[in-house]
């Protein structure tokens, strides 16, 4: 005879809890893995966008202060065609932006001074400079593509559209 003061779990309640826990253990790792991938992808995309915006803004600001007759577009040895631009600013500072494998490098040499080298990003995939029109050296286009690994050997690409910069001097 069972009295009302006896307590315990029925077999059905116990099996229900076991089924719920088993389901969580089965789905949990995949859910955690997918969430981690989502956050890695978003973080990488944000980093690439930030690097691209900063690099493009720095190149454009320096180009606007450049002397158009001093602009030379070529490539550093062993690098892609049109991946380097060199020019002088109004104050005589020699500026150079170029691709060095996966790095975007800036060199600045003030008149009679020491060259300062700065790496703008280490996630460079492609860099290209060109004149908008062959007869007009006052307008330069630049294209910057970045790439970075995310997970399991996969890469996240980001490419910012070509920007046109008008040279003022």
Q: Output the pLDDT for position 53.
A: 87
Domain boundaries, the chain: 29-166
Helix/strand/coil for 126: strand
Extract the residue ranges of the chain whose pLDDT is less than 70. Answer: 1-6, 134, 155-162
If one counts every other C-beta atom within 10 angstroms of the C-beta of residue 129, the result is: 24
Helices (H), 65-151: none
**Which single residue is written with the structure tokens 């691709």?**
99
Rounded Cα distance between 16 and 24, Å, is: 13
In this predicted structure, what is the pLDDT of residue 84? Answer: 92
pLDDT of residue 146: 87
């Amino acid at each position: 005879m069972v009295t009302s003061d006896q307590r315990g779990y029925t077999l059905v309640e116990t099996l229900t809890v076991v089924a719920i826990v088993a389901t969580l253990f089965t789905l949990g790792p995949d859910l955690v893995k997918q969430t981690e991938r989502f956050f890695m992808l978003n973080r990488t995309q944000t980093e690439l966008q930030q690097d691209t915006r900063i690099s493009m803004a720095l190149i454009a600001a320096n180009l606007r202060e450049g002397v158009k007759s001093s602009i030379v577009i070529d490539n550093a040895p062993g690098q892609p065609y049109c991946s380097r631009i060199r020019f002088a600013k109004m104050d005589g500072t020699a500026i150079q932006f170029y691709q060095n494998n996966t790095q975007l490098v800036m060199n600045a040499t003030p008149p009679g001074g020491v060259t300062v080298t700065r790496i703008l990003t280490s996630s460079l995939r492609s860099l290209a400079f060109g004149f908008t029109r062959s007869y007009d050296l006052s307008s330069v286009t630049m294209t910057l593509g970045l790439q970075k690994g995310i997970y399991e050997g996969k890469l996240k690409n980001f490419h910012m559209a070509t920007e046109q910069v008008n040279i003022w001097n």
